[in-house]
Structure 1
Amino acid sequence: MASVVIPAHNESASIARTLAALATGVEPGDLEVVVVANGCSDRTAQIARSANPPVRVRKIGQPSKSEAVRVGNATASVFPRVHLDADIELTGADVLRLVQPLIAGEVLATAPRREVPREGCSWPVRWFYDVWERLPQVESGLFGRGVVVVGEEGQRRLDALPRMLGDDLAMSDAFGETERRVVAEAVAVVHPPRTLRDLLRRRIRIVTGNHQADAADVRRASSRTSPRVLLALVAEQPRLAGPVAVFVAVHLTARIAARRAIRAGDFTTWQRDESSRMKTLRGVASGARS
């Protein structure tokens, strides 16, 4: 009923969990799943090959998400097409919910409602996400969910995009508000960074990617955060004054730190946080003992 393309770079801590979730709520053969292990130095490919039901695994030597997506799309044979990050939990049942509006011709792209568990996160990280999740563009956009689903027409639009560091933002902004939909009945579990340091690493990558998107003119004005929006949040909920201050501080720090990459034109270095995967490692180990 759909093809799921999963680019995976050193995701041995999360790929088993991701594939187990996809197998939930569907029958074997309902989904074509393609995992593209790119530039891996761990057991990502081996773990994916041991999945039940089986999935298709491709290996490429280059550690590149955009190239992995290209290879995955060339391998996949079914539409709708589900673009799924390797560290995101999305059930097969929710995949079916996401493809229905596309099959019905109602929109060109869908994404699930996001769930961002805060357990184990430091208080600056929790406060940051308390603000971030309330931003209008974050609520309505398809980015930041680790999942974008498109039909054939939507995929052609994505294929025409330049290769971007902030690929999910570019994918979201490729569609107007009436062409995309957040399906509230489907849920993606997005594990946030647990430490402030790892949050900054993620935000530096995002700031760098946003700059690239602005330069390529593929970012919509509605995807930007204005001071007016932040002030309105505090006016509506005064308790958010502290979290908004943390949000602004993180954003400004990330902007300053991203200047070197932007000046160098480095839009390929992937600033990845590892702390969001720590819980997965413990969960796998715990599951093996139980």
Structure 2
Amino acid sequence: MEPRPASRTAILLRRFTVRLGGSRLGRRGASLLTVAVIGGFSAYGIVLGGHVEEAREVGMDLADAAANVAGFKIREVNLSGHNHVMPQEILQAAGIKGSTSILFVNADDMRTKLEQMPWILSASVRKQFPDRIDIAVVEREAFALWQVNGEIKVISRDGTPIAPYSDDPRYVDLPIVVGEGAQKRVEEIVDALARLPDLKGQVRAAILVAERRWTLKMHNGIDVRLPEAGMEAALMQLVALDRDKKLLTRDITIVDLRLPDRVAVRLSDAAAAARDEMLKAKAKAKKGGPA
């Protein structure tokens, strides 16, 4: 059987390889170009077959391999600023693998991917040639717990959910907000209570009602209904009433501050029954008294 004639591609590739082999690039340069040319024709064939994404991945792998042969393989990644996020999570989000070459790292794209991670507020990426990447991140701070649809999430000051709740000691003393939309307004209620520490210590959770106003659930079971407008003034009024009248230690279930000109309270069942008995006794005594 007669040997088949070499294809034009094979002849060209052989010529390039021979020429490079005799040049100052030597065998290493020949190998590098061989990988690149083979990869280029392979990727071109895949694109013709309609597999664009596969072509991109194959092309990047081959490009990394070629650059690594030339000495540009990433051998060191310096991470800083991470506390909650594990190093392997950062590397995975950044797309850094054992075969990644520094030549084909897009620092801006990598930074964008890192900043899409829930815990990461901002990131910077610097390429240090020939083989090092420096990544610095600034993490969000856990600001409050948000309960919605039976789930509790750790959220940042801007309301971004950053982690599911766990019994981590760092989360135990975080304020709790409840309800749809509460994460978007968490800053206003938490900061307002922070300015009134005596009241803050009595609050178990703040519930956003109809995404319009807050109700405070106190540790002793009392509900404090705050107005939609003038919330901070109502909180200061509550503090004054508790200081002067011991309002929050009385036998009541609800304090309603929604009306600007009055404060309404609802007695507990036991207190209401006792009050009814007292009023009946007063009425009876009045009837039986002198004309």
- TM-score tier (shorter): under 0.3
From the CA coordinates, give the structure whose radius of gyration is larger: 2
Specify which structure has the higher proportion of helix: 1
TM-score if structure 1 supplies the norm length? Answer: 0.19
Specify which structure has the higher proportion of strand: 2
TM-score if structure 2 supplies the norm length? Answer: 0.19
